Copies of this chain bind each other. A is one copy, B any other.
Amino acid sequence: MSDSHESVLFPADHLREFSTSVFRRCGIPEADAILAADVLAKSDLRGIDSHGVARLRSYYEMLDSGRINPRPNIRIVRERGSIATVDGDNGLGLVVGPKANGIAMDKAERHGSGWVSVCNSNHFGIAGYYPLQALERDLIGWAMSNSTKLVAPLWGAERMLGTNPIAIAFPGHEEPAIVIDMATSAVAYGKIEIALRAKTPVPRGWIIDKNGRDTTDPRDMIRGGAQLPLGSERALGGHKGYCLGAMADILCGVLSGANWGPFAPPFALRQEMPGRSVGKGIGHFFGAMQIDGFIDRDEFKKRIDEWIRVLRDTRPVPGTEGPLIPGDPEREAEAVRRRQGIPLLKPVVDDLMDVAKKAGIPFEMPAAGRR
């Protein structure tokens, strides 16, 4: 997410080409490098800064140190009709994810729906990328992933689950698609990082300290604390956020043969490896469904249009402009950023400079664009 700090605007294509070159230089085949860069670019365009080129350095280091396989043999290891498990062969999640999602979509076109559990993968970027791919094929797409532990289960005093996102999208006819993409924690980790940098307290309900106690000091998170699940506390449904995180962890990790819960390996080199391995890499779960198998496709899209219009017409809470439709903020960010460019903070630019130097690839600052 954006910060109030000064940033420099980069054309999206400039960043996309740079990422592609970096991935290629790491030994990733051309088509895969383009694919991985597209996942990062989509995140930056949609305003999810934490999952875009801001992570390129982590991916580069993991590839450069041999922790990620640049030329994976991504394959179906088990399959029955509409379902399958895919082994990502420790490839970049940005490549394994789109390919496994492609298998789910192919299955949907053949069997009405397709469901693919993935093991032996790495961080796959924004979960929302995958249902957006499905929209291009007129399918309803789902995606989930597990990830490095950050979140405590309700009544737990330590990190046991990742922020395990869930995404799903539904196409409209005249209205833009409804795109849901949400972590199952109360808040994205990036928001805690922003408070750390700004030295401001965080709302009660975001984190606990290393003893499991409520705190508003973001430093308690990096001192061994944990994030809280969506719902935060028992009275507000914290057990429900924990249930959702557990569901994603089981479908992605337990079902595929990947690591699960506290054993999910980290996405960056500097992060500590779990003391134990219970499977291969991290896991994802993709689903795709043919609309036409349920209802006439155009009728569905017109019904979605009507749903959107009715929800937009909800009487607003005083002081707000009323409810948003899921996907509104990201779509609006994309419209602005396609025109103006992607704002990158200085630490991100410094990281990219460093990657450029190590990989021996030029990274040029834009001619203008400081904002």
| Chain A residues within CB distance 8 Å of chain B | 78-85, 110-113, 115, 117, 140, 152-158, 160, 168, 170, 178, 180, 182-187, 203, 205-206, 208, 211-213, 230-232, 235-237, 239-244, 246-247, 249-250, 254-257, 260-262, 278-279, 289-295, 299-300, 303-304, 306-307, 310-311, 314-318, 320-324, 326
Contacts of A178 in B (CB 8 A): 246, 250
Contacts of A85 in B (CB 8 A): 293-295
| A230 touches which of B187, B240, B262, B278 (Cβ 8 Å) | B240
Residue contacts A-B, CB under 8 angstroms, 23 given: A79-B293, A81-B82, A81-B112, A82-B113, A83-B294, A111-B112, A152-B317, A153-B311, A155-B324, A156-B316, A156-B323, A157-B318, A158-B314, A168-B247, A178-B250, A186-B231, A203-B235, A206-B236, A250-B307, A254-B300, A261-B307, A278-B303, A279-B303
| A111 touches which of B82, B182, B289, B290 (Cβ 8 Å) | B82
Q: Is the CB of A157 within 8 A of B294?
A: no
| CA gap between A319 and B206 in the complex, in Å | 19
Q: Is the CB of A211 within 8 A of B155?
A: no
Sorted nearest first, the 4 A-B pairs with minimum C-beta distance are A80-B293, A81-B112, A212-B317, A156-B314
- Distance in angstroms from A162 CB to nearest chain B CB is 13
Contacts of A208 in B (CB 8 A): 317
Contacts of A231 in B (CB 8 A): 186, 230-231, 236-237, 241
Contacts of A310 in B (CB 8 A): 160, 261-262
Contacts of A170 in B (CB 8 A): 250, 254
Closest chain B residue, CB of each to CB of A320 = B155
Closest chain B residue, CB of each to CB of A241 = B230
| CA gap between A211 and B304 in the complex, in Å | 27
Q: Is the CB of B236 within 8 A of A236?
A: yes
Q: Is the CB of B295 within 8 A of A243?
A: no
| CA gap between A292 and B117 in the complex, in Å | 12
| CA gap between A320 and B257 in the complex, in Å | 32
| CA gap between A80 and B294 in the complex, in Å | 8
Contacts of A260 in B (CB 8 A): 303, 307
Residue from the set A140, A230, A294, A307 with the largest chain B CB neighbour count within 10 Å: A294
Q: Is the CB of B153 within 8 A of A323?
A: yes
Q: Is the CB of B82 within 8 A of A316?
A: no
On whether A81 and B111 interact (CB within 8 A), knowing A187-B237, A243-B326, A315-B158, the answer reads yes
Q: Is the CB of B155 within 8 A of A317?
A: yes
On whether A303 and B160 interact (CB within 8 A), knowing A236-B236, A318-B212, the answer reads no
On whether A311 and B261 interact (CB within 8 A), knowing A85-B295, A182-B243, the answer reads yes
On whether A323 and B180 interact (CB within 8 A), knowing A84-B293, A236-B186, the answer reads no
Contacts of A321 in B (CB 8 A): 155
- Distance in angstroms from A116 CB to nearest chain B CB is 9
On whether A326 and B246 interact (CB within 8 A), knowing A186-B237, A262-B310, A311-B160, the answer reads yes
On whether A304 and B250 interact (CB within 8 A), knowing A78-B293, A236-B205, the answer reads yes
Q: Is the CB of A255 within 8 A of B180?
A: no
Q: Is the CB of B112 within 8 A of A156?
A: no
Contacts of A261 in B (CB 8 A): 307, 310-311
Closest chain B residue, CB of each to CB of A182 = B240
| A80 touches which of B184, B232, B236, B290 (Cβ 8 Å) | B290
Q: Is the CB of B79 within 8 A of A255?
A: no
- Distance in angstroms from A226 CB to nearest chain B CB is 10
